[in-house]
Amino acid sequence: MIAILRNSAPDEAVDQLVSWIQSKGLQTDVSRGENEIVIGLVGDTTKIDPFLLESMDIVERVQRVSEPFKKANRKFHPADTVVDCGHGVKLGGGHFQVIAGPCSVEGENLLAIARRVHAAGATMLRGGAFKPRTSPYAYQGMGSEGLDLLVEASRELDMPIVTEIMDPRDVALFVDKGIDVMQIGARNAQNFPLLKEVGKTQVPVLLKRGMSGTIDELLMAAEYIMSEGNPNVILCERGIRTFETRTRNTFDLNAVPVLHYLSHLPVVADPSHATGYTRYVEPMALAACAAGADGLEIEVHDMPARAWSDGAQALTPDQFDHLMDRIRAIRAVIAQDGGRS
Domains of the chain: 2-63 (3.30.70.1140), 74-336 (3.20.20.70)
Distance, CA of 266 to CA of 263 (rounded, Å): 8
Q: What is the pLDDT of residues 23-68, one digit of tens each?
A: 988 888 888 877 888 888 877 787 888 889 999 989 988 887 677 7
Q: What is the pLDDT of residues 284-302, one digit of tens each?
A: 999 999 999 999 999 999 9
Residue 125 contacts residue 117 (beta carbons within 8 Å):
yes
In order of 10, 94, 119, 163, 297, the CA distances from 160 in angstroms are 62, 18, 15, 10, 13
Q: What is the pLDDT of residues 149-180, one digit of tens each?
A: 999 999 999 999 999 999 999 999 999 999 99
In order of 118, 141, 164, the CA distances from 149 in angstroms are 16, 12, 14
Distance, CA of 122 to CA of 117 (rounded, Å): 5
Of residues 142 and 134, more confidently modeled: 142
The model's pTM is: 0.86
What average pLDDT does the chain have?
93
Q: Which residues pair with 240 in a beta bridge?
A: 250
pLDDT at residue 341, rounded to an integer: 43
Distance, CA of 311 to CA of 325 (rounded, Å): 23
Nearest alpha-carbon partner for 316 in 283, 271, 275, 281 = 281
Residue 310 contacts residue 101 (beta carbons within 8 Å):
no
